[in-house]
Structure 1
Amino acid sequence: MQPELPGQRRRTGRGRVAAQPEGYYQPEMVRAEAGPVVEFFGEDDRRAAYDFAKLPCSRMHADLAAAWGRRIGPSGGLRTRGAADSAWGSLSRLLRWLGSLGRPPATLAGLTVSHLRHFDQHRRMTISAIVAVTEMAQIREVLKAVQPVSLLHQEVREYLEQPGHLYGRWKALKTRPQVAGYSDREFAAIMAAARADVVAVRQRLRASWRLAEIFESTPDTLSDTDRARVAELARRLRTGEVPPPERHRIRGTNIPDLTAQKDRAGELFLTTQDLAPLLVLGVGLSGRNSETLKELAADHRVLDGRAVAVNLLKRRRGKTRSRETIHWEVGSESSQLHTPGGWFLLVSELSAASRGFSRSERVWSIWAGTPSAGPEEFRAARAAANGHIDPFALRLGRQLHLSRWAAGHGLIADAATETAQGEPEPLKLTLGRLKKTVEVRTTRAVGGHLPSASRTNTPDVSFLHYLRSDPRIRNWADRVLTEALADAEASAHAFRGRILDEWAATEVRRDPQATATALGTTAENLMRATAGELDTLVASCLDFEHSPHSAGGLCDVSFLTCLRCPNALVAERHLPKLFALLNWLQDELDARSIEDWIGRHGITWLIITRLILPKFTPAQLEQARHQAPDALPTALLDGLREPS
C-alpha cells in the first residue's frame, strides 16, 4: 500500500477505510454570518432561514444552531414550515427570556433545570397550560439534539430523560371544555353567505375575461368608449401587471390609493379578500381541514365528467401516509357550488390566470401586490411575478379575517346566545368548528354508523374530537343506540382485574410479599407473572387452573375474556399487545354495525381505554404505542383448541 503524501487526497475504493472528518457533525444547512443561520427545506416545499444573530446568549448559538439543524434536517422531526416555525418561536422565547435575566447563563453548560422550570412558570402567566406544555416539549427536543451531550449540565441531561413530561398536556386536554359545532341554522347561514360571495367572484372574473376575449378576437364589435377600457383589461390579463396606485394629496402628503389598485386587480384575478369565502365553502362542502385544502395540488384529472381526482396532503399521518389521491363528485354546472369536486374545479378556474404568473404548483394563486417592505427575497419574488403569489406558499397560517367576513354578512349566533346588552351574539367563525359541524351532519345522515361517516378520520378520532362534544349528536345517539353502550360500560366497571402500574411495579421490587397480599395472590405467583411465565395473549393469568368462567376448572374461554377475569394481571409489558388489540377492535368496528360491535367488543374496549390505560403514565403509553406489533394471532382470540 503506497504511503499517503501530505496534501494528497485519500483514494477510495473497495476495502479502503473511508476518511473520517474531525470533530462533531454540523449540518451543511448551518452557515455562519453575523451569527449562525440555519436553512430549512421542508417536505411541504416551503423554505425558511432561522437567524440566531438576532437572539441573546450568543455563546450558545453555535451549539444550539447545530442542534436546531438536526431537528429540522431530513432525519429530524420537524419537516413542515409550520411545525418548524412553531418550535423556533419556543426556542427564541427561551433565549430572549434567558437574556433578560440579571445573570443569564453564559453557555449551554450553565443552563439549569431551574432555568427551564422558571421559564415554564413565566409562560404560564400569559398562555394556557396546554400551550405551555407544548412549548416546553419543543424546547426539550432541541436540547436532546445537542451533541455532544456533555455540553449540557448533568441535571439537565437527567431531566430530559425523565418520563411524564407530557402528562400535564394530557390532563389539560382531558379536562378542556369541548366546543360544539354550529347549529343547522348557523351552518345554513354560513354556507349561504359563502356561496353568495363565491358567485359574485365567479361572475366578476368571468365577465372581465369575456370582455378581454372579445377584444382579442373581434375588437370592432366594441364601441369606441369601451374599446380603450377593455384594451387595458386585455393587457393586464396578458401581462399580469396591475398599474401602480394613483396618489391623492391629503394634508400635504401623497397617499397611494391602494383600494382602487386592488379593485383593478380584482377585475381579473383573485385577491386576498376572496380567500375567506372560498375556503369557508370548501370546508363546508368537503369536511376537510382547511390546512388540507390549502395544500391542494393544481394537477388533477376529471373522470368521465362526474368526478375529479385531486392530490392532497394530510398532515399528522407520518411521511408514508401524508399524501393521497381522493375523488370528489363534480355534479352539473348548476350544482357546482354544492359539490366538493365542483368547488375544486371552480377554484382551479378562478386562480388559473394568476397561477400563470406565480407558477404555483398548488391550486391557489392570487394577486397580492408588490410590497416595498419585508425580506429582499420575498419582495424580489413578488416583483418577478408582478405581485402574483401562492398565498399559502410561505406559511399555511395566513390571516383570513374570518370574524370580519362573518360580521360583514351579519351572521349571528343562535338566539339563545346574547350579549350583556341583550343583542344577538355575533357568530364566531372558525374553520375547525365548521369542519366539526360537517362531521356531525354526516354522522346523522348515515344513521350513526361511524365507519360510514368518517371520511377524513378514523371513527374513534371522529367521535372523540368532533362528535362527542356536540349536544345534538349526544342526544340523537341516545335515541338511536338504545342502552347498549350504557350496559357495556356498566359491565366494564365491574372489572376487578389487577393492574401493575408504575407504583405497584416499584412495590413488587421493594416488598413482593406485601404487594402479593394486597393483590390477593401469592408472592410466588406474582413473581412468576412479573417474569412473564404466566402470560396469556394480552395479560397474565394468576390461576389458570381455576377459572371462574369454567365452573372452577381449567380455563377454556376466549383470550378476550381475560380482561374481564379476576385472575387477570396487566403489567406495563402487556401494553404493546393491548394497543395491537385496540387496532384489531378498530378493524372489527369498520366491518360491523356499531350495535353489533358494542355487543361483541364494547366491554373489552371500555376496560382497556377507561380502566387500564389511564393507570399508566403518558410516557409508558407512548413507548408502548411505538412497540405495538402490527398484528396479533387473531386465531387465538377465541381461546385454545384441541388439535384435530
Structure 2
Amino acid sequence: MSTRGSTRPGVRAVLLDGDYDVRSAVYRSPDGSVCVDFDGEDGRSRTFDFADCELPGWHEDLAVAVAARIGPGGRLRTASSALAMWTPLKRFLRALAGADEVPLRPGQMRVEHAEFFADSVAATMQDAYAWRVVEHVVAVLRLLPPTGRVPDEALDVLRVRNPGPPRSTSGYSQGELRRLVAAARADVAAMRERIAQGRALIAAPDGGPEAERLRTVAEGGRLERLHDTRAAGRMLFPMSDDLPGMLVLMAAVSGRNIETIKELPAEHQVVEGKAVEVVLTKRRRGARRWHESVLWEIGPPGQGLRHPGGLYLLLHGLMAPSRSRASDPQWFWAFFRGVYFGDQHGNPFRSAMTAGLPMSAWVDRHGLTDDAGAPMTVAFRRIRTSVEARRTRQMGGHLPSAARSNTVPVLFRNYLREDPSTVEWAHEVMADALADAEQAALEAHRRLADRAGRPEILADSVLSPADIAEGPWSGCRDAENHPVTGRACRASFLDCFHCGNCVITPAHLPRLLALLKAMDQRRRQMDDQVWWQRYGPAFAAIRHDVLSRFTPEQVREASSSPDHDADLDLVEEPWQQP
C-alpha cells in the first residue's frame, strides 16, 4: 500500500494499490505489542505502539479504530493531529485502569466508567482542552470493530459530558501586542546585525584568528570547547533561542496561524521586486484544499521587518546557510543545532509541529508583562486574534474587506466575537454613529423649524380645551392655517414638532414619553437608515427641544404615570409597520 500523500500544484495525488483494509495496518512488534504505522500528508510519519498503554485487552480493537482514524480514509492526516488523538487515548486507558471495577475489554465498559473518565478530565484540565480530549476518545470509540464495541449508553454519557468547544480566544490589548511585537522585532534586528558581522568577518581577507574560528564552524568543524563552538555558530547562523522572536514577528506581520507559519516553504518567487509569492499550507481548509498561493508585500527599503514579504526574504536569507546543509532543504525554517548533533543544521519542526520552544525564557529575557503586571503568556492564537481585530478596525468594521484567510463567519466567530478590544471598539463606533445620526436628525428638525416655526413650550401653564385642538402628543393653535401654506394642515402628526402652531404643556408629557419608547422599540425592528429618515427628526426634536424645557421633576412624574398608548399607527400606513 502507498500513502495518499499531499497534493499541490504540480504534484498529483498518490493512488492506493488495491483495496485498503484497516486491519492490515495493525501488526505486532518483535516484542509482541500492538502497533499502527502512520504516514501523514505533511510528510511526517510515526509508529503508535500500545506497549506503554494500560489494559492489554483493549489494544487490538483500539488499534483497528486508530488505523481507521489515521488511515487514508480517516480525518487525521497530519502527524500533529494524529498525536493529538493518541495522547488522550492513552489517558483514557490509564483512567479506566484506575477505576474500582476495571473493564478489561471494550464490551465491559459501563456508564460509571464513562463518568469516571469524564470527571477525571474535567478535574485536571481547563474546558479549553478538556472538550478536545473527550472528543478524540469518542471519535476513536465510535470506530471500534463489532467484536469490541463499547455499549451505546457509555458512549452517550461521554457525548453528553463533553463541555464542547470553548468560545473564541480573546486577543492581547493594544499595549500588550505593541510590547510583544517590539521585543520580537528587536530580536530579529539584533540577529540580523550579529550574523551580518560574522559573515563580513569571514569574508574579510585579514580577519585574523577570529575569522579562522568562524570558518572552522561554518565548514562543519568544531572548536576545542563546546561553548566556543556555539559562540562561533551564533555569529553565522540562527540559533534555537532566536526562534521565538522570529515566529512571533512572522505571526504578527503576516496575520497567519502558527501551523501555516511553521510549514512555510523555502520555494518562493519575487514579483517585480514588490511582492513575494508563496504557496502556503493551511490544514484547516479541508481535504484537497490545503494549499493557497499568496502575495506578500516586500515594503520599501529598510522596512523589511514591518511587511510580511520583506520579513520572509530577510529570514530566508539568514537561514539559507543552515538550510543548504539540512537534510530537508525544502522547508523555510532552519537553524544551527551544534556540531555534536548528527544533523548540525535542520528544521526545528521536521519531526513534529509541536516542537518545544523556549517561550517562557524569551518572555523573561525581555521582561514582558501583561497589563496587570504579571509575566506575559505568549499564545500564537491570541496574536492571530489581535491582528485580525486590528485589521478589522483599520477596515472600519467592514468584515468582507477584513477577512483575508477566513470567511466572514469564521472571522467573526473565532476571532472577533469574544475579543475585548474589538467589542470595546465596536461599542465606540456604534456610539459615535448614533451620535452622528442623532445630530443629523436634529439639524433636519431645525431646518424644518426655521420654515414653519418651533413648538411653543408652556412648561408652567395649562390651557383650556377652547384654546387649542388636541392631537395625539401635542396641541395645535390653528389647524386651519398652516404657517407655511396658509391652508388647513395636512401634514403628519410627527411634523407638529417642527411647527409654530404646536403647543406642548406638562399634560402632554406622559404621551410624549410613550411615543419616544415606541419609536425606540421600532428602531430595533427596522433598518437604521429607514428609521432615522422616518422618525429621526421628531425623535431628536422631542429629546433636545421639548424635554429639555421641562424640569427633571416634571419628566420623572410623567414617566411614573400609567402607560399610555403611543398611537404610532396614526402616522403610518399599514404596510409601513414592521
TM-score range, shorter chain: 0.5 to 0.7
The amino acid of 2:357's aligned partner reads L
Preserved contact between residue 242 and residue 264 of structure 1 (Cα < 8 Å): no
Preserved contact between residue 197 and residue 277 of structure 1 (Cα < 8 Å): yes
Preserved contact between residue 130 and residue 168 of structure 1 (Cα < 8 Å): no
- The aligned residue for residue 284 of structure 1 is 252
- The aligned residue for residue 480 of structure 1 is 429
- Per the TM alignment, residue 456 of structure 1 is displaced from its structure 2 partner at its CA by 2.4
Match among 56, 73, 76 for residue 75 of structure 1: 73
- Per the TM alignment, residue 484 of structure 1 is displaced from its structure 2 partner at its CA by 9.4
Match among 269, 275, 278 for residue 301 of structure 1: 269
Match among 347, 352, 377 for residue 320 of structure 2: 352
- Per the TM alignment, residue 130 of structure 1 is displaced from its structure 2 partner at its CA by 4.5
What CA distance in whole angstroms lies between the structure 1 residues aligned with 2:19 and 2:70?
A: 24
Runs of 5+ consecutive residues of structure 1 not aligned to the other structure: 1-18, 215-220, 247-256, 372-381, 418-423, 486-595, 601-644
SS at match of 1:125: helix
The amino acid of 2:238's aligned partner reads L
**TM-score computed with the length of structure 1 as normaliser:** 0.60
* Greater CA drift, 105-114 or 276-285: 105-114
Indicate how the Cα distance of structure 1 residues 25 and 463 shifts in structure 2: closer, same or farther if over 3 A, else same: closer
Indicate how the Cα distance of structure 1 residues 307 and 30 shifts in structure 2: closer, same or farther if over 3 A, else same: farther
The amino acid of 1:399's aligned partner reads G
Preserved contact between residue 30 and residue 66 of structure 1 (Cα < 8 Å): no
- The aligned residue for residue 437 of structure 1 is 386
SS at match of 2:23: coil
Preserved contact between residue 283 and residue 290 of structure 1 (Cα < 8 Å): yes
- The aligned residue for residue 207 of structure 1 is 197
Give the 5 Å matches for 1:581-600: none
Per-residue CA deviations over 1:205-229 (Å, capped at 9, x if unaligned) read: 1222223234xxxxxx31xxx4343
Matched, 1:193 2:187: no
- Per the TM alignment, residue 115 of structure 1 is displaced from its structure 2 partner at its CA by 1.8
- The aligned residue for residue 236 of structure 1 is 217
SS at match of 1:26: helix
Give the 5 Å matches for 1:65-144: 65-101=63-99, 103-144=101-142
- The aligned residue for residue 47 of structure 1 is 45
SS at match of 1:391: coil
Per-residue CA deviations over 1:12-41 (Å, capped at 9, x if unaligned) read: xxxxxxx999xx851336443320222111
What CA distance in whole angstroms lies between the structure 2 residues aligned with 1:102 and 1:260?
A: 57
Indicate how the Cα distance of structure 1 residues 108 and 598 shifts in structure 2: closer, same or farther if over 3 A, else same: farther
What CA distance in whole angstroms lies between the structure 1 residues aligned with 2:38 and 2:527?
A: 47
Preserved contact between residue 311 and residue 326 of structure 1 (Cα < 8 Å): yes
Give the 5 Å matches for 1:69-468: 69-101=67-99, 103-147=101-145, 149-153=146-150, 156-157=151-152, 159-160=154-155, 162=156, 165=159, 168-170=162-164, 173=166, 180-214=170-204, 221-222=205-206, 226-239=207-220, 241-243=221-223, 246=225, 259-360=227-328, 361-369=330-338, 382-383=341-342, 385=343, 387-414=344-371, 417=372, 424-468=373-417
Preserved contact between residue 389 and residue 416 of structure 2 (Cα < 8 Å): yes
The amino acid of 1:190's aligned partner reads L
- Per the TM alignment, residue 403 of structure 1 is displaced from its structure 2 partner at its CA by 3.3
SS at match of 2:36: strand
What CA distance in whole angstroms lies between the structure 1 residues aligned with 2:195 and 2:181?
A: 21
Per-residue CA deviations over 1:55-76 (Å, capped at 9, x if unaligned) read: 2222322222222111111111
Per-residue CA deviations over 1:246-281 (Å, capped at 9, x if unaligned) read: 3xxxxxxxxxx5x54432321211111000111111
Preserved contact between residue 95 and residue 120 of structure 2 (Cα < 8 Å): no
What CA distance in whole angstroms lies between the structure 1 residues aligned with 2:57 and 2:201?
A: 63
| Equivalences, count | 420
* Greater CA drift, 389-398 or 424-433: 424-433
What CA distance in whole angstroms lies between the structure 2 residues aligned with 1:356 and 1:307?
A: 24
SS at match of 2:24: coil
Structure number with greater Rg is 2
Give the 5 Å matches for 1:491-506: none
What CA distance in whole angstroms lies between the structure 2 residues aligned with 1:157 and 1:470?
A: 39
Per-residue CA deviations over 1:312-333 (Å, capped at 9, x if unaligned) read: 1112221222211111001233
SS at match of 1:165: helix
What CA distance in whole angstroms lies between the structure 2 residues aligned with 1:305 and 1:439?
A: 27
Give the 5 Å matches for 1:482-561: none
Indicate how the Cα distance of structure 1 residues 127 and 479 shifts in structure 2: closer, same or farther if over 3 A, else same: closer
What CA distance in whole angstroms lies between the structure 2 residues aligned with 1:438 and 1:469?
A: 14
* Greater CA drift, 395-404 or 51-60: 395-404
Per-residue CA deviations over 1:331-367 (Å, capped at 9, x if unaligned) read: 2331111100011111111111111121322100112
- Per the TM alignment, residue 598 of structure 1 is displaced from its structure 2 partner at its CA by 8.6
